[in-house]
Amino acid sequence: MELLNELEMEQNEYGTLMDRFLDMHMYITSALQRTDVKALGLQMALDLIHKEKNIDLITGLKTRTQTGRPNWDKVI
């Protein structure tokens, strides 16, 4: 995570002077999907914390961690 954090900070530092060289998509595949009612409370809390502090509580990165499996059609 330290390397990803450094890369995120470097991208933010250079801002628009440099094209984004890395686009991160973080997933926790063992967690329940966002649409699952059992995970609704946790998802709402994680979303609220990310909006307020601009940090993902799970990883410590600015990039928001998604639950479930990626939709590869959207990612690629």
Confidence label for 10 from pLDDT (cuts 50, 70 and 90): confident
Q: Which residues contact 46 (CB under 8 A, 6 or more apart)?
A: 56, 57, 58, 65
- Tell me the domain boundaries of the chain: 2-70
Q: Quick one: how many helices (H) and strands (E) in the chain?
A: 3, 2
Q: What is the percent of the chain with per-residue pLDDT over 90, rounded to a whole number?
A: 17
At residue 75, does pLDDT exceed 70?
yes
Q: Which residues contact 43 (CB under 8 A, 6 or more apart)?
A: 34, 67
Cα–Cα distance for residue pair 22/43, rounded to 1 Å: 25
> For residue 5, how many other CB atoms are within 10 A of its CB?
14
Taking residues 26-55, what's their average pLDDT? 85
| pTM of model > 0.85 | no
pLDDT of residue 66: 86
Amino acid at 13: E
pLDDT digits (tens, 9 = 90+) for 13-22: 876 665 667 7
